[in-house]
Amino acid sequence: MFFKAMSSFEKKINALAEEVGENLGYEVDDLEILGRGRRTIVRVTIDMEGGVGLEDCAAFSRDFSALMDVEDLMKERYTLEVSSPGLDRALRRPRHWLKNIGKPVRVVLLDTYDGRDVITGKIEAFEGDRVTLLLEDQTREELSLDEIKRARLEVEL
């Protein structure tokens, strides 16, 4: 399953990010900690109504970095990356699916299903750990998050 629950360490870092986001008016859309030791990357994705720009990412980065230094949760050096989710944002958490109902999505499956490993359609519903997609031919496909390798919004032109 592509959705991985946060460890207690990640939850502490996420709580700090949420605190900074709340103070600055941003929503912490996602947080990942990649690698450990000398090459640790803390990747935070922020969002807000109307989107975020470079100045927003810089302001969040400055405040979050300062709070991380004060709290001293990261014992090793790390690289902080702050970005917006983008138009083709990844759907990695249940709230991402809920927030994007009605939008087109491209889903890559873990295993081949009906001869395909990629499904595109609009997110029609999300409940529990199941997503319902409305396909182009107006049929519905219901998938469990356990069946999904990765998913991204499709850019509407």
pLDDT at 50 over 80: yes
Per-residue pLDDT at 105 = 97
Domains and CATH numbers, the chain: 8-83 (3.30.300.70), 94-153 (2.30.30.180)
CA distances in angstroms from 50 to 23, 27, 47, listed in the order given: 18, 12, 8
Indicate the average pLDDT of the chain. Answer: 90
Integer Cα distance of 123 and 38 in angstroms:
40
> What's the pLDDT at 115?
83
106-151 confidence digits (pLDDT tens): 999 998 877 889 999 999 999 999 999 999 999 999 999 999 999 9
76-93 pLDDT tens trace: 889 999 999 988 889 988
